Structure 1
Amino acid sequence: MHGMIVTDGTSEALIGNCLYFIKSDASTAINARNVHEEVNFGRFSCQNAGILTVLPALQQLLSKVHNPAAHALRNWGALSETPHGKKTKQIFLDSFDTFIDFINGAKTSISGAVKLHGCDSFDVASLLTPSDCLAAAANPDTVAILEDLVHHWCKEIEQVDNT
């Protein structure tokens, strides 16, 4: 089944192919005559990225498409005309490279994140409201289960923290 979701990315996870559109000038209305001049667009794939969907796709898009294009660009307009402009251009390119390195590091850090084991004897996801927590706290068996679970999680986090 195919479908399309339109989102700003805050409420829906990116999966599959992501098409993005960027309007360069918010004051200009878009119409059939100027859409090719006013809107930039692109696509990147978040397929087969597992839990990490956006970072690998963004890293690939920036490092394989936009960064080489920026480094290959010869005409930077007014920035190419003065020593200060040339320095500004180089600072931008260096910052772009650093940002891609940062994304790589973030991707590596997140992929090694702690994966806490679940609880078979209690559905932790059922604790949605304060009243759910109060009801669980009133049951000594549930409290014992949750204490054991949290204790186990602390040990898992300590193992990662000590590596």
Structure 2
Amino acid sequence: MEIVVISNSFTSCNTTAKKSIVLSSETRKELAKQAKVTKEERRAQIDERHKYLISKLSDGIDLSEQQVEEAIISDDKFQLIEQFFAPNGLKKLLFFYQDVLQQTSNASLRSDGSTNSFLQKKLFLTMGSTENFTGICAFFLRMSDKVITTSNVCQEVNFGIFDCSNGNILQGLELFLSQIMIPALKSQQHWGAVKEGLKNSQIQDFLYSVDRFVDTLSSSRQNLEDRIQLAEVDIDTYVSNLQNPSDYITAGSNTEITEKLEEVLMIWIKQIRQVLVESEQMRREADDIGPSAELEHWKSRMSLFNSLLDDIKSSRVKKTLSILQAARSKTLKQWKELVITMF
């Protein structure tokens, strides 16, 4: 099995609104006719190279070969396939399979200017830089600059799947490396000029580094999932219109507002105390474990407290504290002591 490397070419971009145009039935029929002609021309171009791609996509994405073929010949970026096959052509060919906003075939403008639309899974070609990546990426990578022919496509083109259908790219990368790449590397028999193969110390160091990277990836993903945020409490009524110091003084002199915000602050204090207790409990349970677990504990604790610190610096918390400071609230003493304990 050849080793493939994925470059991080997936970037997000803001979608831009497009003006809806109402087409006459004659125009729609003409466009449909042209599209049908284009599809049939492309269908006639399909050879064993295309069938190889179609077969791999069908197996990897769980679509029939007919569905994959229809998606490919209907794609506006169909020419990318020919550019991929050409000598010194594209190094990669990417397909996304994910939910895409579709308009109904007889879409017409509503009174508010919008059209009837719905989400539907779609397989489409992409350069990887103009669409948000939210589903499955199927990729083909070239092994050389040779022209891709019907006789060498199986040897010169590698295929892989990168699944982020749950919306978690870190988890998708972790699974790809741990379940596909690392087992493939560890079963690799030939390492080029390195005759000793897996017995070579440099190869062993490399595999160890990859294992550690996956462990770090898993830890980072877990820390993000365990991110702590202060409870969302509806305080917009009290803090949204504050503009200058006099507004805070006025709010602080209002007993109803200060009592409500003191209740909110106590909720946050109890939440942070609970986090500290749980963190310390985990620390005690890990006392008899080695230095790796100790390091992991402190990394997790740092990530946890950093997420709390981000929330503490948020506008809603700062405004709450400023009003209570103007009111000379006694609950601020508990808050300050707690924050000192944390950091």
TM-score (norm 1): 0.60
Measure how far apart 1:41 and its partner are.
6.0
Q: Secondary structure at the match of 2:100?
A: coil
Question: What SS does the corresponding residue of 1:77 show, helix, strand or coil?
Answer: coil
CA spacing shift, 1:105–1:135, aligned 2, 3 Å: same
Q: Which of 233, 255, 260 is equivalent to 1:119?
A: 233
Q: What amino acid sits opposite 1:99 in the alignment?
A: F
- 2:169 is the counterpart of 1:54: yes
2:247 to 107, 114, 138: 138
SS of the residue 1:33 aligns to:
coil
User: What does 1:104-115 correspond to in 2, within 5 Å?
Assistant: 104-115=218-229
The whole-number CA distance in structure 2 between the counterparts of 1:109 and 1:8 is 29
Question: What amino acid is aligned across from residue 15 of structure 1 in structure 2?
Answer: T
Distance in 1, matches of 2:246 and 2:139, equals 46
The letter of the residue matching 1:58 is L
Q: 1:135 to 1:111 in 2, by over 3 A?
A: same
Tell whether 2:186 aligns with 1:88.
no
Q: 73-82 vs 86-95, which deviates more?
A: 73-82
How far 1:44 moved relative to its partner?
Answer: 1.8
Partner of 2:271: 156
The count of residues paired between Structure 1 and Structure 2 equals 145
Shift of 1:20: 5.7
**Does the 8 A contact of 2:191 with 2:197 survive in 1?**
no
Gapped regions of structure 1 (runs ≥ 5): none
Structure 1's 79 and 114: CA in aligned 2 closer, same or farther, altered over 3 A? same
Residue 7 in 1 paired to residue 129 in 2? yes
Q: Distance in 2 between matches of 1:72 and 1:54?
A: 26
**Contact 1:23–1:39, Cα closer than 8 Å, also in 2:** yes
Q: Secondary structure at the match of 1:117?
A: coil
Q: Distance in 2 between matches of 1:136 and 1:40?
A: 64
Counterpart position of 2:162: 44
Is the Cα–Cα contact under 8 Å of residues 59 and 100 in structure 1 kept in the other structure? Answer: yes
Correspondent of 2:193 among 64, 72, 78 = 78
1:75 aligned partner, one-letter code: H
Deviations 1:78-127 (A, max 9, x none): 223599x911101001111122222222233332221432132318xx98
Is contact 1:16-1:46 (8 Å) kept?
Answer: yes
The structure whose Rg is larger is 2
Between the aligned partners of 1:56 and 1:46, the Cα distance in structure 2 is 7
- Kindly indicate whether the alpha-carbon contact (under 8 Å) linking 2:197 and 2:203 is maintained by their aligned counterparts in 1: no
Instruction: Please report how far the alpha carbon of residue 16 of structure 1 lies from its aligned counterpart in structure 2 after TM superposition.
Output: 1.5
Question: 1:33, CA displacement in angstroms?
Answer: 2.6
CA RMSD of aligned residues (A): 4.6
SS in 2 for 1:95: helix
* Distance in 1 (alpha carbons) for counterparts of 2:242 and 2:195: 63
| Cα contact 2:138–2:160 (8 A) shared by 1 | yes
**2:137 counterpart residue number:** 18
Letter in 1 for 2:219: G
Q: Give the counterpart letter for 1:78 in structure 2.
A: A
Deviation at 1:147, TM superposition (A): 7.2
Q: Give the partner amino acid of 2:247.
A: A
1:68 paired with 2:68, answer no
Q: Distance in 1 between matches of 2:246 and 2:186?
A: 59
Distance 2:196 2:277 in 1: 53
Alpha-carbon distance between aligned partners in 2 of 1:23 and 1:135, rounded to the nearest angstrom? 61
